[in-house]
Amino acid sequence: MSYNKKHRTKQVSYSKKNNKQSKGNTTPQRASYWLLAPIIFMMSVLPFITRLKQSNSYFSKFPWYPINDNTTDFFLYYKQVFFLIAVTYMAVIVIYKAYTDKKSLVYSPILIPLAVYGVMAILSSLFSKYRSYSFRGTHDHFESLFVLLGYCLIVYYIMLYVQTEKDLELIINCFVASIILMSLLGLTQYIGRDFFTTTLGKKTILPKAYWNELDSLDFNFEKNRVYLTLHNPNYVGSYAALATPLLLTLSLLIRKKIWKLPIYLLALAGIIMSLLGSKSKTSIISLIAAGVLILVLLSRYFIKYFYLTIPLLLFVLGTIFTYNHANDNILVKQIQPALNLVKIEPSLQDIQTLDDKLLVTYKGNQIQIITIYEEDQVLFVVIDEDKNELLLEFNPEKGSFLVQDDRFSGFELGYAWLEDLLGFYVTIDGHNWYFTNNTEDGSYYFINRYGKLDKINEAPSAVFTGYEKYASGRGYIWSRTLPLLKKHLILGSGADTFTLAYPQQDYVNLYNYGYGEQLLTKPHNLYLQTGVQTGVLSLIAYLIFYGMYFISSLKLYIKGRFRSYYAQVGVAILVSTFGYMIVSFANDSIIAVAPIFWAFIGLGIVINKKAKPLIEEEIALEKSK
């Protein structure tokens, strides 16, 4: 009996000692603001940077891109520029520290897969045939090799320089403030009064030389659609996947500084409003997954403080259900398409531009089209797969020929001048396809929407074959991206080269699945993006890196009591990064949001180290009572 009493006394005194340390009596002072500034900038300022930049895409040499290389960007180019400035600042500080005080550098097993990821990104870019694109970043993305290496550096820099609770609190407070500001912008877009459509908004993002052309600025987003400053409404979902679980978890766990609760709830309401306005379906699914993880991790806490947590959870759920009911079941309608797999078989299955003929497959039947040029007209010979010549009926009004066969009903042939080139068209299901073999080699070419000659090459597909319309057409992109992984098991195509690696000459299927008028520049899947660009090996390293963080965090917080600020923020970041990893199945990495995720991981690693002894002490104290 006396032994247990003595043991309990020691535990209590140790607890008080640690509490004093956590209050800053014996812990190091807050790091210099100059050291924390780049972290705060990455998380809280960088997402807002929006400015017109006209640049050269360097894509015009490819047949699937227009002749004009000039491109216009508002949301990404300058984010990359300022990101690289901040990363350079961080790199100089780290190098100086390594030179002056090597003993203070951080070494951890979790850095091994991170280093492998970085090395494979370098090698993939160095050995890429698109090397120059990897080094400068490509149009519509601007996530160059140096940006990817910058993500890795963010993690290491945070592990070096975020040391105290005050450091962490400053970073989180700034991020919450930025969410509120971002939500105010989202509110203007949600109510149809987009700040960027106002004179002040346009002057903010346009150089002075363009101020006399303010009325010509148009982002082409539908009215009331929320896109914030993140390039596309889809990335509002990625941003919300990081911000929403953080704010919800901190709101549930807050016990000290209760004055922060209204601020958290205000930010939470704002980001949810922006999310709903963005109409991002996959982000809602990711938040449901994050919510399940919150329930698992905080179950003990919910039971103990049920009189606080249950009303708050009921308030959140009630608000969601009320909004859904008031808006014609909008949330359910947004989620349903992601759960429905509907097989589609397009009528036009294939077109082959061969050396001696055009071969069209339509509803399982093949038709050969052979053209003969005589002066300024084209003669047609049409043959089916049984080598029977099909009759053609001349239409004098259009000067075209109709194929007289029920298998190819509606097929219409005619010749056409495209600038100085004599070619012909084939009308299939009301859509005109233009071709020519009036070339030096006599081979058949497709004339694409840019007036360029190109071969039609059907891309191999996998997994989502027949389900290309799944997830708002992502099924098509995924099905044609998956086969690319075989080519890039070790080395990828190079950082930021997805546009160049993707089979852009799959013209028939691009048309069939709604992408005939678009250039596909991203896979809408972070994991496919990583596997193609920096290689499957780098993807494995990336998943191991996050897996090490996730598993160690799960083991720690599943038994936590969340009395310390470290534990509260640590579990919030765990849930947030989990939500981001889920939404990344339908969204890719982009410089508008990704720096926040990588900063969260760095903070999570630091916090886990700080929170672990505190949680273990709390458990020991409970057992000793």
Q: Are strands 392-395 and 445-447 parallel, antiparallel or unpaired?
A: unpaired
Query: Residue 348 is which amino acid?
Result: L
pLDDT tens digits, residue range 32-75?
A: 899 999 999 999 999 999 999 999 999 999 999 999 999 999 99
**335: buried, middle or exposed (CB in 10 Å: 19+, 13-18, 0-12)?**
middle
| Length of the chain as a residue count | 625
**For position 332, what pLDDT does the model report?**
67
**For position 138, what pLDDT does the model report?**
94
Q: What is the mean pLDDT of the chain?
A: 89
pLDDT tens digits, residue range 580-624?
A: 999 999 999 999 999 999 999 999 999 999 999 998 888 888 777
The pTM of this model reads 0.91
pLDDT of 16 over the 80 cut: no
Q: Higher-confidence residue: 472 or 148?
A: 148
**For position 546, what pLDDT does the model report?**
98
- pLDDT confidence tier of residue 6, bands split at 50, 70 and 90: very low
**For position 330, what pLDDT does the model report?**
65
**For position 305, what pLDDT does the model report?**
72
Q: What angle do CA 123, 124, 130 make, to 5 degrees?
A: 125
What mean pLDDT comes out for the span 242-247? 96
Domain coordinates of the chain in residue numbers? Answer: 31-338+524-624, 355-443
Q: Higher-confidence residue: 515 or 9?
A: 515
What mean pLDDT comes out for the span 405-418? 91
What mean pLDDT comes out for the span 226-237? 94
CA distances to 73, 103, 265, 322 from 506, rounded to whole Å, are: 27, 55, 48, 45
Sign of CA dihedral 497, 502, 505, 511: negative
pLDDT tens digits, residue range 137-146?
A: 998 999 999 9
123 touches 115 (CB < 8 A): no
pLDDT tens digits, residue range 415-456?
A: 888 877 889 999 999 999 999 998 889 899 999 999 999 999
- pLDDT confidence tier of residue 336, bands split at 50, 70 and 90: low
pLDDT tens digits, residue range 257-280?
A: 889 999 999 999 999 999 989 988
**For position 337, what pLDDT does the model report?**
64
**For position 4, what pLDDT does the model report?**
43
What mean pLDDT comes out for the span 393-408? 91
pLDDT of 553 over the 60 cut: yes
**346: buried, middle or exposed (CB in 10 Å: 19+, 13-18, 0-12)?**
middle
pLDDT of 340 over the 80 cut: no
**For position 22, what pLDDT does the model report?**
43
> Which residue is it, tokens 């100085």?
420
For the chain, the first-to-last Cα distance in angstroms comes to 13
Highest mean pLDDT among 295-304, 334-343, 422-431: 422-431
- pLDDT confidence tier of residue 519, bands split at 50, 70 and 90: very high
402 touches 408 (CB < 8 A): no
Lowest mean pLDDT among 305-319, 383-397, 459-473: 305-319
